[in-house]
């Protein structure tokens, strides 16, 4: 007996869904304009290894850039001037988002007026997914921040004084 995968097999659908996701990413404003990538230099960092790991929460380590004020000039001794980079961790909770279009069945799909109904459905789902990606990114970018960083010795907006400046190291801290 031959071992085959039928059209309705779950593995077949997963291959189609992955292709659909890749095509939906091209439709997304953020992906299409290069804002999303796997490099830490991208504005939005995509972690492709999340597809490989199991679990509902994945923890990522973040390594911050070194402070601009460090370093020694010329032949000065480095001993005692070493720096330890700041590290942070972040938790990502995985959520599955999906949508579907139900057709009238094979008989309905064979009627001349419904030619290409699956192609239309696929295109509509791609556009929906791209819009969903963009909306989720816009929502995250416009979300309320959970931290407040103030210059000098200020700890709230009410305690800001004339000499409380944002230094380069504080700006670097804001990136975290």
Read off the pLDDT of each residue in 139-163 and give the average, rounded to a whole number.
82
C-alpha–C-alpha distance, residues 95 and 51, integer Å: 12
Q: Does residue 99 contact residue 128 with C-beta atoms inside 8 Å?
A: yes
State the pLDDT at residue 114.
52
pTM: 0.55
For residue 111, pLDDT beyond 80:
no
**Which residue did the predictor score with more confidence, 78 or 136?**
136
For residue 79, pLDDT beyond 70:
yes
C-alpha–C-alpha distance, residues 129 and 23, integer Å: 10
Read off the pLDDT of each residue in 136-164 and give the average, rounded to a whole number.
83
State both tokens at 6: 């039928």
* Mean pLDDT over the full length of the chain: 76
Structural domain boundaries in the chain:
1-54+96-143
Read off the pLDDT of each residue in 54-63 and give the average, rounded to a whole number.
73
For residue 83, pLDDT beyond 60:
yes
Q: Please, which pLDDT band fits residue 135 given cuts at 50, 70 and 90?
A: very high
Q: Which of 114, 162, 158, 134 is nearest to 35 (CA)?
A: 134
For residue 155, pLDDT beyond 80:
yes
């Amino acid at each position: 007996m031959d071992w085959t995968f039928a059209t309705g097999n779950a593995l077949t659908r997963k291959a189609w869904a992955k292709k659909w996701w890749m095509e939906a990413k091209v439709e997304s404003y953020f992906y299409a304009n290069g804002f999303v990538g796997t490099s830490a230099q991208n504005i939005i960092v995509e972690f492709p290894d999340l597809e490989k790991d199991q679990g509902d929460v994945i923890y990522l380590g973040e390594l911050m850039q070194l402070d601009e004020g460090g370093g020694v000039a010329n032949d000065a001794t480095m001993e005692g001037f070493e720096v330890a980079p700041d590290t942070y961790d972040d938790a990502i909770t995985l959520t599955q988002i999906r949508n579907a279009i139900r057709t009238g069945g094979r008989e309905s799909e064979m009627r001349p007026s419904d030619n290409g109904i699956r192609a239309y459905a696929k295109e509509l789902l791609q556009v929906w997914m791209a819009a969903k990606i963009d909306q989720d990114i816009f929502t995250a970018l416009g979300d309320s921040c959970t931290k407040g960083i103030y210059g000098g010795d200020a700890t709230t907006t009410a305690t800001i004084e004339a000499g409380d400046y944002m230094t380069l190291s504080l700006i670097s801290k804001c990136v975290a």
